[in-house]
Chain A
């Protein structure tokens, strides 16, 4: 436990070298930068967590291959933008959305639908997705090799505000993620299929009573979820490298966000994504990047002690 304290002191000592006014200016500026990066992280986690929680809400299963779809979408984008075709993102992203949607629907139809007739299909399906994850990760390693790949920036260049510079990519991804979150919320609250998804997650029997075809809705939820993880993957991979098992980290983070917000709750996922995103940025700033996951873990534990069903969660 000595490590963070030392870092804090060192940091404090460094800052003392500045004049008092300059020191506050610097801290304030750093704080704002950290806040912005926290909100950016939060919006990315929000999209990832929404994709995961929608499938859970509708079908009460967790898709453990979620991270592998993250990886494969990144590789798909790599093939399209850098690897083989030199396409512009303006073409790549609209091209990927329908492909991902049909991959999701295909996965549900081919792998999960046949299991659904059995009594205990949820458990079986969760293990099936785990197997699928290992298969896809290994396949990625065979096809693309273990060396990391990277995507070009979606928005190249940087801009200067006052004296500090921000890359256009950060601002662009931030705006796109927020836009995506708003679109998902609109879809869930106004669109007929989105409303049906919420209905199924709140009362499956009630949904059958009003005539919602569950099988078709499961497929839509899967397709939708894969689109969200795929698009987010392209956003994230324009910052970080792509590796064959690189999807696990975002998956685990999305999982924590979902558990924090309350399983199956879209509103909870949204709030907790921003809370944990800002927490992550703050921890990385004040203490250091290695402490992010321990802090997430502690915060999750405390929350689950106080509210066992998550922020806005209900069982069943």
Chain B
């Protein structure tokens, strides 16, 4: 479904992504792990059109998308859920969700998507009329994911959803993401380590210093000595 080949991304002159290649099958739940500041978010943003790659090719359903602007990518269903959430603080939860359905493609599906999001996150329905800035950390996270779903996402790139959440909320968020994945939406999840989500994940990539240094299933990752040493402290 999504194929990234030899991707290089720079911030001005500073190379962040160095020859990254990944491939994701339709309906998969794929995770990219790696330490802070090694280019995970940059990779997601490049895929979603928020950053321009210097070179390399990104294909989505065999179409080359590496030079399309973000709003056209949202139109074909590639949606980014940011680590810093980037909600609209002075708008209500409902207005935030409405804006999720801004693209012409998702506007037709607005009602169905809204029902789906409210079914998935009943808390959002209760807090419909509250300002996004008044939500708790967990609720804001749900709203960010819900807003992504409102865009009729086929491919959801979620950036560190567990950041700053209490352990029980982390489990809840990962369960919800798994539920979304079971509904047929391909997920690319970025986390710093292998997390509670491990049991749902089909494939793990390790991104270090802008390059992919490991690729395999969760079991492979858990038995890999390098990963054990770097992340699990074993």
**B residues in contact with A212, CB < 8 Å:** 71, 99, 102
- Interface check B33, CB cutoff 8 A: no
Least CB distance from B76 to A in Å reads 10
Least CB distance from A201 to B in Å reads 9
Least CB distance from A219 to B in Å reads 14
**A residues in contact with B147, CB < 8 Å:** 210
B98 contacts A203, C-beta separation under 8 Å: no
B151 contacts A202, C-beta separation under 8 Å: no
Closest residue of chain B to A208, judged by CB? B70
Given contacts A195-B95, A195-B98, A196-B102, contact A209 B88 (CB under 8 A): no
A203 contacts B89, C-beta separation under 8 Å: yes
187-229 of chain A: CB within 8 A of chain B: 192, 195-196, 198-199, 202-203, 205-213
| Contact of B82 (CB < 8 Å), options: A195, A198, A206 | A206
Closest residue of chain B to A312, judged by CB? B90
**A residues in contact with B70, CB < 8 Å:** 208-209, 211
Interface residues of A, CB < 8 Å — how many?
16
A205 contacts B88, C-beta separation under 8 Å: no
- Interface check B120, CB cutoff 8 A: no
- Interface check B103, CB cutoff 8 A: yes
Closest residue of chain B to A215, judged by CB? B69
- Interface check B91, CB cutoff 8 A: yes
Least CB distance from A66 to B in Å reads 24
B50 contacts A211, C-beta separation under 8 Å: no
Closest residue of chain B to A213, judged by CB? B71
Interface residues on chain B, size class: 20 to 34
B91 contacts A210, C-beta separation under 8 Å: no
**B residues in contact with A203, CB < 8 Å:** 86-89
Least CB distance from B144 to A in Å reads 9
Least CB distance from A104 to B in Å reads 21
Least CB distance from B132 to A in Å reads 9
Bound CA–CA A12/B41 (angstroms):
70
**B residues in contact with A199, CB < 8 Å:** 88, 91, 99
Which of B74, B88, B148 is packed against the most chain A CB atoms within 10 Å?
Answer: B88
Closest residue of chain A to B86, judged by CB? A206
Given contacts A195-B95, A205-B50, A205-B82, contact A210 B100 (CB under 8 A): yes
A202 contacts B71, C-beta separation under 8 Å: no
| Contact of B80 (CB < 8 Å), options: A195, A196, A209 | A209
Bound CA–CA A207/B103 (angstroms):
11
Given contacts A199-B99, A206-B82, contact A211 B88 (CB under 8 A): no
The 6 closest A-B pairs by CB, nearest first: A211-B74, A206-B86, A211-B103, A211-B71, A213-B71, A202-B88
CB pairs A–B below 8 angstroms (18 shown): A195-B98, A196-B99, A199-B91, A199-B99, A203-B86, A203-B88, A205-B50, A206-B86, A208-B50, A209-B50, A209-B81, A210-B102, A210-B151, A211-B74, A211-B103, A212-B99, A212-B102, A213-B69
A202-B89, A209-B80 provided; 5 other pairs, C-beta below 8 A? A192-B102, A208-B70, A209-B82, A210-B147, A211-B75
